[in-house]
């Protein structure tokens, strides 16, 4: 079967970004950085029409998990495409775009937009975590 | 010891972006580094004689229907007042403008530390200028349409 992430590689080349591949028996993965921030793309071998683009961030120390969940909920209501979730005993926050596609080539022309919305969601999340701003 | 050009190039590459580096003037040691981010090409000018300054530029195409050089020069002047660290220059017969941010710091490392903030500041300034140019032109077009329509109605 052809590589479902090949079109994502082309989209990353369109954006002028370096990337690395990390495939195993379960999934195909791409890791890359943009403006110094790390992102990943995953395609599972048993579900090739599903593609996830995401980024994970450590929560700052002394953040109230309840407040972080409220902020994540607020973003989930408002933001297009992006799912925001607390992860691993609430010490990390994960921003993901999850798509169902016939081919990853469908994503290529929209990749820049999806990357922007991931970036904006992270920025807004951490801005909103400041006290008194929810 | 690494040259200023190589230091900046390696930094941008370490942040995930491909970079094309070209010497501009071997006598003065100036070079241009090109990279893309968020769909836009940026140019960084470095100078081996001065490691504490760099210049970041990016170009914006002005839509054909909005190419009114005098009015666009006024729009860029307004943008310059809002973003005094950015220089705006109309080029190619008014078909595009170049936004340039010159930054000075204590060291190349300090410049790199603030690099994406500077890119963001330049992008915000350029976007505001584009919005001013397009919005004003659209408002003018709408006003003319209204006036023409009104005048036609008035004459009937």
Question: Any idea what the CATH number is for the domain that residue A43 is in?
Answer: 3.30.1460.70
B16 CB neighbours in chain A (<8 A) are 17-18, 32-36
CB–CB of A50/A99 below 8 Å? Answer: yes
Residue A134 included in any domain: no
| Interface check B11 vs A, CB under 8 A | no
B17 contact residues in A (CB cutoff 8 A): 16-18, 34-35
Give the CATH number of the domain where residue B91 resides: 3.30.1460.10
Q: How many CB pairs under 8 A join A and B?
A: 36
Domain that holds residue A71: 6-128
Report pLDDT digits (tens) over B76-123: 999 999 999 999 999 999 999 999 999 999 988 899 999 999 999 999
Residue A64 included in any domain: yes
Angstroms from B16 CA to nearest CA on chain A: 4
Note whether A34 contacts B17, CB cutoff 8 Å. yes
Q: What is the mean pLDDT of chain A?
A: 92
pLDDT surpassing 70 at residue B152: no
B-contacting residues in A 34-73 (Cβ below 8 Å): 34-36
Residue B60 has pLDDT above 70, yes or no: yes
Residue A133 pLDDT greater than 50, yes or no: no
- Give the angle B40-B44-B47 at the CA atoms, nearest 5°: 175
CB contact under 8 A, A16 and B13: no
Q: Say if residues B21 and B32 touch (Cβ distance below 8 Å).
A: yes
Residue A40 CB partners (closer than 8 Å, separation 6+): A29, A30, A31, A32, A53, A54, A55, A56
Nearest to B37 among A18, A32, A34 (CB): A34
For the cut 70, the answer to whether the pLDDT of residue A132 exceeds it is no
Q: Which of A17, A112, A116 sits opposite B16 (nearest CB)?
A: A17
The 10s digit of each residue's pLDDT in A68-117 is: 999 999 999 999 999 999 987 778 999 999 999 988 888 989 999 999 99
B81 touches A at CB < 8 Å = no
Q: Can you give the pTM of this predicted structure?
A: 0.85
Segment B26-52 shows an average pLDDT of: 93
Report the distance separating Cα B115 and Cα B121, nearest Å.
10
Query: What is the reported pLDDT for B23?
Result: 93
- Which of the four pLDDT bands, split at 50, 70 and 90, describes residue B1? confident
Q: Is residue A133 part of a domain?
A: no
CA B106 – CA B129 distance, rounded (Å): 30
Q: Is residue A78 part of a domain?
A: yes
pLDDT, mean of residues A3-29:
94
| Between B150 and A101, the higher pLDDT residue | A101
Structural domain range at position B42 = 4-155
Q: Please give the residue of chain B at the shortest CA–CA distance from A120.
A: B38
Kindly report the average pLDDT of chain B as a whole number: 89
What domain count does chain B have? 1
Q: Which of the four pLDDT bands, split at 50, 70 and 90, describes residue A134?
A: very low
Minimal-distance CA residue of chain B relative to A12: B17
Mean pLDDT of B22-32: 91
Kindly state whether A116 is in contact with chain B, defined as any CB-CB distance less than 8 angstroms.
yes
**B56 reaches A (C-beta below 8 A):** no
User: Count of domains in chain A?
Assistant: 1
First to last CA, chain A: 47
How much of chain A exceeds pLDDT 90, in percent?
78
Residues in chain A with CB shorter than 8 Å from the CB of B116 are 35-36
Residue A104 covered by a domain = yes
Nearest-CA distance B39 → chain A (Å):
6
Per-residue pLDDT at B144 = 65
Minimal Cα distance from A109: which residue of B?
A: B39
The pLDDT of A20-48, averaged and rounded, is: 96
């Amino acid at each position: 079967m052809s590589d479902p992430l090949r079109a994502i590689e082309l989209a990353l080349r369109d954006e002028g970004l370096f990337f690395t591949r990390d495939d195993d028996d379960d999934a195909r993965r791409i890791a890359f950085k943009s403006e110094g921030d790390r992102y990943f793309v995953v395609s599972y071998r048993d579900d090739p029409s599903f593609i996830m683009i995401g980024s994970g961030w450590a929560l700052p120390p002394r953040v109230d998990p309840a407040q972080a969940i409220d902020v994540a909920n607020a973003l989930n209501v408002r933001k297009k495409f992006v799912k925001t979730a607390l992860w691993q005993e609430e010490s990390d926050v994960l921003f993901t775009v999850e798509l169902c596609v016939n081919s990853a080539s469908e994503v290529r022309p929209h990749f820049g937009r999806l990357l922007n919305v991931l970036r904006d969601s992270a920025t807004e999340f951490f801005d909103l975590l400041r006290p008194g701003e929810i | 010891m690494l040259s200023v050009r190589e230091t900046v190039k390696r930094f941008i590459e370490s942040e995930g972006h491909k970079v094309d580096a070209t010497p501009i003037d071997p006598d003065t040691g100036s070079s241009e580094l090109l990279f893309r981010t968020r769909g836009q090409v940026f140019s960084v000018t470095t100078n081996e004689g001065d490691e504490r300054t760099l210049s970041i530029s990016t170009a914006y195409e002005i839509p054909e229907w909005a190419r009114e050089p005098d009015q666009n020069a006024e729009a860029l002047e307004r943008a310059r007042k809002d973003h005094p660290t950015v220089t705006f220059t109309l080029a190619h017969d008014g078909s595009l403008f170049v936004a340039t941010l010159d930054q000075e710091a204590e060291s190349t490392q300090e410049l790199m530390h603030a690099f994406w903030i500077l890119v963001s500041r330049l992008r915000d300034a350029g976007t505001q200028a584009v919005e001013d140019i397009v919005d004003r032109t659209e408002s003018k077009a709408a006003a003319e349409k209204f006036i023409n329509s009104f005048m036609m109605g008035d004459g009937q």
